[in-house]
């Protein structure tokens, strides 16, 4: 792997013209043929994988950002905000000699990482010039993609720009948040690119959702922050101090504008200095307290109040539609790979209905319903499934059980097919949501019903 990377980096320094070039921002390149393409406002991504062999390669081309005149400083900043947001590297980058072309100076570095028991390489190329920087990130765990990866990188050319002599950027690139390392949890997917331009990334204490300069942190459940308090204002300030305050300083203009009803709304906003960047930002802490007891604290970070209100609307009164803001919590959603499923996943449900006599008020008994459903995924894409249901009045409860086993497959990374459940093949929609240190598996029978949550039991 190391020899292949060294060869690749030598070839990068020789730019070659290719037919049918494509343009993204100020970058011209030739797309690798047959690779899957995903586009956002700020990135173009190409990926290729062999699920049977467990190999993959991901190429990410980023839109130009403000940079400093120091190319190494730009590389260091990009390593923190580009590489470490995508994968947890295990060493400082090994640097190659810089190269220059058309007014741009390229700094290249790579470092190993381990994912799902396989060794891989993260390669970052940062080109600096004209007070800007352009980044290309390559992630791979195999040298089988060497030729295509090399051709892509060698095809890249950057537009020659003009910049005022000695001019430095107003906002040099720095780490955008203190906690940017993707946790080493062994799951295949730590990023989701939504069709409307938002990108979700797994973090240690929250999921970070970004589009342009707007960031939304979907905080994981936190025992202290979520502790019940009958006084909503006290509960909200408690959550702010635990979840938000530690990452900021010089707080000002803090407002509490929450609404208390059958589904209460937490809404706090203020301006503060972001400790990780030294930048003044506008912060909104939001939570819709659903009647079911669900709901996540959402932290919105924008350059100013106007940016937030332009995207999500301005706070007015109880008639304001909060749905666009509240629905950001549903972007805690990540694809599923076959390797992620290995082990036992369980769902338990228990419900009790108490009956009383209408005339006397005396107890008329209690009816209970409970179910236990398990999926156990083994090697070779095998599975075992069982469901046990208990129904009836207390003292006369009847049990029913069904089982199945067979083979499963993933036609994409958002569905799972089972060869047989309840006597016939079944397809389920599937995704993961994240909590601190673990994931929840959500499955929905495509024939009917809502999503059911499964936790890993081993």
What are the tens digits of pLDDT across the range 307-344? 998 898 876 644 456 788 899 999 999 999 999 999 99
Query: Nearest Cα to 454, choosing from 396, 390, 386?
Result: 386
The maximal CA–CA distance of the chain, rounded, in angstroms, is 91
Adjacent-strand bridge partners of 44: 39, 61
Place of tokens 């790579």: 110
Q: Which sequence spans correspond to the domains of the chain?
A: 2-158, 191-331, 338-456
Confidence of residue 121 (pLDDT cuts 50, 70, 90): confident
Query: Nearest Cα to 219, choosing from 163, 151, 266, 169?
Result: 266
- pLDDT above 70 for 3: no
Residues 6+ apart with CB under 8 A from 391: 367, 368, 369, 397, 398, 400
Cβ atoms 26, 165 nearer than 8 A = no
Give the residue-averaged pLDDT of 397-425.
90
The structural architecture, per CATH, of the domain 191-331 is 3-Layer(aba) Sandwich (3.40)
- pLDDT above 60 for 67: yes
pLDDT for 232 equals 76
- Measured between alpha carbons, how far is 56 from 123 in angstroms, rounded to an integer? 14
Tokens of 6: 């060294």
Confidence of residue 17 (pLDDT cuts 50, 70, 90): very low
Cβ atoms 190, 201 nearer than 8 A = yes
- pLDDT above 50 for 13: no
Q: 231-256 burial string, b = 16+ CB within 10 Å, else e? A: ebeebbbbbbebbbeebbeeeeeeee
pLDDT for 185 equals 62
Give the residue-averaged pLDDT of 144-166.
77
- Measured between alpha carbons, how far is 456 from 191 in angstroms, rounded to an integer? 21
Which strand ranges, in their side-by-side order, compose the sheet holding 27-29? 22-24, 27-29, 157-158
Give the residue-averaged pLDDT of 348-376.
65
Confidence of residue 250 (pLDDT cuts 50, 70, 90): very high
Place of tokens 């979700």: 200
Give the lowest-confidence range in 76-90, 124-138, 248-262: 76-90
**CA distances to 23, 30, 59, 68, 121 from 20, in Å:** 10, 7, 19, 32, 29
Give the residue-averaged pLDDT of 171-187.
43
- Measured between alpha carbons, how far is 285 from 219 in angstroms, rounded to an integer? 10
Task: Return the percentage of the chain with pLDDT > 70, whole number.
Answer: 79
pLDDT for 169 equals 34
- Measured between alpha carbons, how far is 175 from 78 in angstroms, rounded to an integer? 8
- Measured between alpha carbons, how far is 303 from 315 in angstroms, rounded to an integer? 17
Adjacent-strand bridge partners of 238: none
Cβ atoms 374, 346 nearer than 8 A = yes
Cβ atoms 402, 386 nearer than 8 A = yes
- pLDDT above 70 for 425: yes
Domains 2-158 and 338-456 share a fold: no
Q: Of how many residues is the chain composed?
A: 458
Confidence of residue 10 (pLDDT cuts 50, 70, 90): very low
pLDDT for 258 equals 73
Task: Return the percentage of the chain with pLDDT > 90, whole number.
Answer: 38
- Measured between alpha carbons, how far is 214 from 137 in angstroms, rounded to an integer? 22
**3-state secondary structure (DSSP) of residue 335:** coil
- 302 or 357: whose pLDDT is higher? 302
Give the lowest-confidence range in 14-23, 329-338, 407-416: 14-23
Q: CA angle, 212 as apex, 207 and 217 as ends, to 5°?
A: 20
- pLDDT above 80 for 355: no
- pLDDT above 60 for 167: no
Q: CA angle, 244 as apex, 238 and 250 as ends, to 5°?
A: 105
338-456 is classed CATH 1.10.10: no
Query: Nearest Cα to 229, choosing from 240, 218, 220, 219?
Result: 240
Give the residue-averaged pLDDT of 264-270.
89
Topology of the domain covering 2-158: Protein Transport Mog1p; Chain A (3.40.1000)
DSSP code of residue 289? -
pLDDT for 131 equals 84
Cβ atoms 134, 26 nearer than 8 A = yes
Give the residue-averaged pLDDT of 166-187.
41
**Identity of the highest mean pLDDT range in 166-175, 334-343, 359-368:** 334-343
- Average pLDDT of every residue of the chain: 81
Cβ atoms 326, 319 nearer than 8 A = no
| Angle formed by the axes of helices 146-155 and 2-12, nearest 10° | 20
pLDDT for 206 equals 94
Cα dihedral across residues 81, 86, 90, 92: positive or negative:
negative
Query: Nearest Cα to 385, choosing from 335, 432, 454?
Result: 454
């Amino acid at each position: 792997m190391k020899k292949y990377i060294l060869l690749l980096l030598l070839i990068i320094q020789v730019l070659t013209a290719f037919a049918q070039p494509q343009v993204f921002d100020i970058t011209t390149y030739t797309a690798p043929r047959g690779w899957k393409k995903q586009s956002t406002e700020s990135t173009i991504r190409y990926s290729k994988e062999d699920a049977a062999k467990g190999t993959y390669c991901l190429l990410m081309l980023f839109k130009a950002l403000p940079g400093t005149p120091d190319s190494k400083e730009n590389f260091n900043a990009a390593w923190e905000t580009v590489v470490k947001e995508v994968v947890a590297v295990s060493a400082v980058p090994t640097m190659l000699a810089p190269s220059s072309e058309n007014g741009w100076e390229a700094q290249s570095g790579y470092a190993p990482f381990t994912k799902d028991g396989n060794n891989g390489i993260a390669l970052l190329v940062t080109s600096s010039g004209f007070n800007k920087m352009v980044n290309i990130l390559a992630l791979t765990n195999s040298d089988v993609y060497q030729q295509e990866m090399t051709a892509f990188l060698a095809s890249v050319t950057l537009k020659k720009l003009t910049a005022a002599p000695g001019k430095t950027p107003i906002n040099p690139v720095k780490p955008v948040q203190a906690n940017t390392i993707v946790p080493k949890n062994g799951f295949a997917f730590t990023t989701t690119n939504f069709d409307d331009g938002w990108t979700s990334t797994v973090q240690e204490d929250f999921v970070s959702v970004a589009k342009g300069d707007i960031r939304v942190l979907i905080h994981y459940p936190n025992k202290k922050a979520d502790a019940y308090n009958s006084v909503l204002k006290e509960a909200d300030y408690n959550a702010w101090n635990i979840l938000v305050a530690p990452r900021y300083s010089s707080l000002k203009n803090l407002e509490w504008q929450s609404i208390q009803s059958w589904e209460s709304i937490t809404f706090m906003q203020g301006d503060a200095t972001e400790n990780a960047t030294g930048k003044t930002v506008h912060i909104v802490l939001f939570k819709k307290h659903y009647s079911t007891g669900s709901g996540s604290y959402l932290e919105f970070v924008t350059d100013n109040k106007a940016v937030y209100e332009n995207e999500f609307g301005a706070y007015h009164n109880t008639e304001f539609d909060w749905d666009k803001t509240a629905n950001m919590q549903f972007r805690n959603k990540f694809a599923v790979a076959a390797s992620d499923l290995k082990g036992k996943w369980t769902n338990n449900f228990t419900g009790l209905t108490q009956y009383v006599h209408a005339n006397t008020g005396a107890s008329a008994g209690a009816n209970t319903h409970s179910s236990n459903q398990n999926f156990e995924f083994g090697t070779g894409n095998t599975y075992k499934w069982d469901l046990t249901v208990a129904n009836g009045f207390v003292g006369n409860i009847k049990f029913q059980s069904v089982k199945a086993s067979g083979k499963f497959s993933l036609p994409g990374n958002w569905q799972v097919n089972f060869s047989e459940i309840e006597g016939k093949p079944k397809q389920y929609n599937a995704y993961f949501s994240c909590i601190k240190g673990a994931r929840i598996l959500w499955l929905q029978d495509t024939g009917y019903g809502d999503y059911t949550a499964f936790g890993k039991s081993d």
